[in-house]
Amino acid sequence: MLRQGFISFCLFFSVFFTIYGQGSEYGQHSFVIRGEVYVDLEQIYAGHVDEEYPLSITSAGQRALEEAALFYSAMIHGWSFSYEIGERARKIDELLELEPVGIIKFGDPALKVTDTEIKNMQLRVWTDYHLSEAAQKRLQVWRTGMIRNAQATGYAPDFFKEYPGWIAVKKLALEDSARAAIRTVLRGSERNRPKHATGFISLAAFPRYYIDGGRWAVFAKFRLQITEIIPFAAY
């Protein structure tokens, strides 16, 4: 079994490095951002087991690249947000709506695998994303102007009637982290709690996922631009 696993790992690295490795026109580009993704090969979450268990190396590699594409999208393009802060006394629910400004898809030739490792039943994949001129300009926008830095921990639900899938669960945790980051910034900048805020938010780096109390948690750093704040006095 160990020998078969090692052979599968070697084949995975060979195939994925050939497809997503250096050597294309992107490989000669000097503007690169990097990130590392971890994929559990024997993941059971909230009592739900994946359709494929344990994951094959190929499936785990594909998941790593899908997740990396999600994070690079969030770093370069980010999301627009509409945030209802909520208040129990007024019976107003807290609600965050996020809309991706742009999407980097799985298979994007600018996304390159640079290193892989299997350790403690996890596949670890380092990737580079080689920035086009347009992507460089988008990323520069997130580093200049009226941009605020924020960080927060978010959590996915610990129970599902119907399991939405591995990447959907991780997105839920990341969205909750964004909500907590926006709330923290507003709490620090506004004397009175506002009713509503809108703006844009992006990842500053790849987030760090871990299991806390049986549910996915994620610590993430963000860049935040608030375009409008509506106080309760306006209503």
More confident residue, 15 or 118: 118
pLDDT at residue 194 in the model:
83
Asked if residue 17 has pLDDT above 60, the reply is: no
Confidence grade of residue 89 (pLDDT, cut at 50, 70, 90): low
> What percent of the chain has a predicted confidence (pLDDT) above 90?
63
Q: Where are the beta strands (DSSP E) in the chain?
A: 32-40, 44-45, 48-49, 79-84, 95-100, 111-119, 122-130, 148-155, 196-203, 208-212, 215-230
Question: How much is the pLDDT for 27?
Answer: 38
Higher pLDDT, 175 or 94: 175
pLDDT for 125 beyond 80: yes
Residue 46 has pLDDT above 80, yes or no: no
Q: Are 110 and 87 in contact (CB under 8 A)?
A: no
State the total domains in the chain. Answer: 1
Report how far apart the first and last C-alpha atoms of the chain are (Å, whole number).
Answer: 66
Tens-place pLDDT, residues 163-202? 888 999 999 999 999 999 999 999 877 667 788 999 999 9
Among 45-54, 125-134, 217-226, whose mean pLDDT is lowest?
Answer: 45-54
* Ramachandran assignment for 145, one of left (phi > 0), alpha (psi -120 to 50 degrees), beta (any other): left
At residue 72, the 3 state secondary structure works out as helix
For residue 190, the model assigns a pLDDT of: 63
Q: Are 12 and 61 in contact (CB under 8 A)?
A: yes
- Per-residue model confidence (pLDDT) at position 2: 39
Confidence at residue 86, expressed as pLDDT on a 0 to 100 scale: 72
Q: Which of 57-71, 190-204, 216-230 has the lowest mean pLDDT?
A: 190-204
Strand, coil or helix: what is 210?
strand
Residue 176: give the domain boundaries. 2-234
Q: What predicted TM-score, i.e. pTM, was given to this entire model?
A: 0.85
181 by DSSP, 3-state: which? helix
Using an 8 Å Cβ cutoff, are 234 and 191 in contact? Answer: no
Predicted confidence at residue 16, as pLDDT, reads 52
